[in-house]
Amino acid sequence: MTTLIKNGTVVTATDMTPADVLIDGERIRAIGLGLGDSVTAETVIDATGRYVMPGGIDVHTHMELPFGGTFASDDFGTGTAAAAWGGTTTIVDFAVQSYGETLSQGLDTWLQKAGPKSHIDYGLHLIVREINDSTLREMDTMIDRGVTSFKLFMAYPGVFMVDDASIFRAMSRTADNGGLIMLHAENGGAIDVLVQRYLAEGKTAPVNHGLTRPASMEGEATHRAIALAELAGVPVYIVHLSAREALTAVREGRSRGVPAYAETCPQYLYLSLDDLARPGFEGAKYVCSPPLRTADHQADLWRGLVTDDLQVVSTDHCPFDYKDQKILGKDDFSAIPNGLPGVEDRYTLLWDGGVAAGHISPTRFVELIATAPARMFGLHPRKGTLAPGADADVVVFNPDADRTISAGTHHMRVDYSAYEGRKVRGNPEVVMQRGNILVQDGKFHGQPGAGRFLERSRFGPGPG
Ligand code: URP
Ligand code: ZN
Ligand code: ZN
């Protein structure tokens, strides 16, 4: 099967050029100006007035994550279909080690969840909850199985949190095995004291979730994480960075030569503490950790994306229904399941608020949405760019399409949108994975189980 995408502007992390793209089977065969004049293909897609860009790579999702007595509402079927609708063709989700379980058991559970359902290709990180001699040894095995990154939590005491000694031991192991430690950086101990104090004072509304998780405690934990990585002599990746204080810690680490990397998420670029303070229980829709910050943090995050102190935009997609799930915390903000939906919205949100609004160039957009995550998480050059030999994961993007984000039209299995009513410019009109059309003309053509598990290489930030 051959496909020719004609007359578009091809955008990669380095170039933006008028060119045609020839796809042969699952891979891109050639890219060139006027290529369509000399070759024929079984399928031709006219991309006049469109950008032709790599499929998005979202390296932070939580399909069916068990959290707070319930499960994230998207499974690998609904969540990956929604991702494809939004222009994302690869996710890296988080398998979880349950207490008392081996890492292999955690990984196998997630492979069983994802395999039969996923519409798009997927990799897995591992959330490690217990660091001991045996789990440290098992990290090596996980790397051999293509799971090359491990998330540790500095927050959620009694649920996910591990202590500094454990973090340092895990980092020291990655110094030998080439894995990458990812940190949820918030000072869980201090936050927990604040949470108990607020609840004892009768402060139970959703906004208190934000007020008990101050930005200074994200800054402190981020600084600590980077200092531990520096001591261990390894790279470190800070997930879902939300606050200026944390960004400062990353920037300072990088400027003294520590290979510290970080991602932020659309919710921290577009939403704020004001959303968490919406009247009644509405704020529960915006409960995630780290929490939404005051709006003045957003300009710093945009600057971080421009200066490359932030290298990746992921979603931390972790949806919970408002009516049935967020309601668990009706009388106690600390019982509201943490997480926001977003896997479908990232591509267009970053284009609209980033490129259309003039913060970043189209090439930087591609780098943030696909190329840098592919490099950092061992998927490049097969994924994350458009080049001969790469997987034909392609988005034909209409930059002039106006639409309004709404739960009424999105495809994520969640009963609200965090961006309800937001007008955005840009639409991924055609979405392809390995040469197969997943979305075209407003119709979905994906198949559950068609997505493949991606065995990832070891961490490598690559050039630039
Ligand atoms: O609120 C969030 N972020 N939920 C998902 C779990 C995590 O910490 O990433
Ligand atoms: Zn986290
Ligand atoms: Zn997360």
> Which residue CA neighbors atom 4 of ligand 1 most closely?
339
Tell me the best of 63, 67, 213, 276 to mutate to test the pocket of ligand 1, counting ligand atoms within 8 Å of each CB and taking the most. Answer: 67
- What backbone torsions phi and psi does residue 248 show, to the nearest 5 degrees? -60, -40
> Which residue CA neighbors atom 5 of ligand 1 most closely?
339
Q: Look at residue 326 in the predicted model and tell me its pLDDT.
A: 98
pLDDT tens digit sequence for 142-184: 999 999 999 999 999 999 999 999 999 999 999 999 999 999 9
Tell me the best of 125, 268, 292, 318 to mutate to test the pocket of ligand 1, counting ligand atoms within 8 Å of each CB and taking the most. Answer: 318
Ligand index nearest the alpha carbon of residue 94: 3
Query: Helix crossing, 164-177 with 133-144: angle to 10°?
Result: 40
> 59 and 373 in contact (C-beta within 8 Å)?
yes
Task: Specify the ligand 1 atom closest to the Cα of 184.
Answer: 8
Give me the torsion for CA of 113, 118, 121, 123, rounded to 10°.
Answer: -20
Segment 246-275 mean pLDDT: 98
Tell me the best of 58, 59, 60, 62 to mutate to test the pocket of ligand 1, counting ligand atoms within 8 Å of each CB and taking the most. Answer: 62
- Asked if the model's pLDDT at residue 461 lies above 90, the reply is no
What spacing in Å lies between the alpha carbon of 2 and ligand 1's midpoint?
Answer: 41
- Asked if the model's pLDDT at residue 91 lies above 80, the reply is yes
Task: Specify the ligand 1 atom closest to the Cα of 62.
Answer: 5
> Rounded to whole angstroms, how far apart are CA atoms 218 and 7?
47
Tell me the best of 315, 316, 343 to mutate to test the pocket of ligand 1, counting ligand atoms within 8 Å of each CB and taking the most. Answer: 316
DSSP 8-state code for residue 325: T
> 84 and 439 in contact (C-beta within 8 Å)?
yes
Segment 48-53 mean pLDDT: 98
What spacing in Å lies between the alpha carbon of 442 and ligand 1's midpoint?
Answer: 31
Position 462 confidence tier, pLDDT thresholds 50, 70, 90: low
pLDDT tens digit sequence for 411-434: 999 999 999 999 999 999 999 999
Q: Which residue has the tokens 């319930």?
A: 70
Residues in contact with ligand 1 (CB, 6 Å cut-off): 62, 184, 240, 288-289, 316, 318, 338-339
Structure tokens at 422: 């937001």
pTM recorded for the entire structure: 0.98
Task: Specify the ligand 1 atom closest to the Cα of 94.
Answer: 9
What's at 140, amino acid-wise?
Answer: D
* Per-residue buried b or exposed e for 43-52, using 16+ beta carbons within 10 Å of the residue's own CB: eebebeebbb
> Rounded to whole angstroms, how far apart are CA atoms 357 and 36?
33
Task: Specify the ligand 1 atom closest to the Cα of 155.
Answer: 8
What spacing in Å lies between the alpha carbon of 215 and ligand 2's midpoint?
Answer: 15
What spacing in Å lies between the alpha carbon of 428 and ligand 1's midpoint?
Answer: 27
What spacing in Å lies between the alpha carbon of 360 and ligand 1's midpoint?
Answer: 27
The percentage of the chain sitting over the pLDDT mark of 90, rounded to a whole number, equals 99
Strand segments (E) across 295-375: 312-313
Q: Look at residue 464 in the predicted model and tell me its pLDDT.
A: 41
Q: Look at residue 422 in the predicted model and tell me its pLDDT.
A: 98
What spacing in Å lies between the alpha carbon of 406 and ligand 3's midpoint?
Answer: 23
> Rounded to whole angstroms, how far apart are CA atoms 122 and 55?
13
> Which residue CA neighbors atom 2 of ligand 1 most closely?
339
What's at 207, amino acid-wise?
Answer: V
> Rounded to whole angstroms, how far apart are CA atoms 317 and 59?
10
Ligand index nearest the alpha carbon of residue 238: 2
pLDDT tens digit sequence for 271-313: 999 999 999 999 999 999 999 999 999 999 999 999 999 999 9
Ligand index nearest the alpha carbon of residue 290: 1
Q: Which residue, among 352, 349, 355, 393, has the nearest Cα to 371 in the 3D structure?
A: 393
What spacing in Å lies between the alpha carbon of 145 and ligand 2's midpoint?
Answer: 23
pLDDT tens digit sequence for 14-26: 999 999 999 999 9
Q: Look at residue 460 in the predicted model and tell me its pLDDT.
A: 73
> Which residue CA neighbors atom 9 of ligand 1 most closely?
316
What spacing in Å lies between the alpha carbon of 394 and ligand 1's midpoint?
Answer: 29
> Rounded to whole angstroms, how far apart are CA atoms 456 and 91?
12
Q: Which residue has the tokens 């932020």?
A: 264
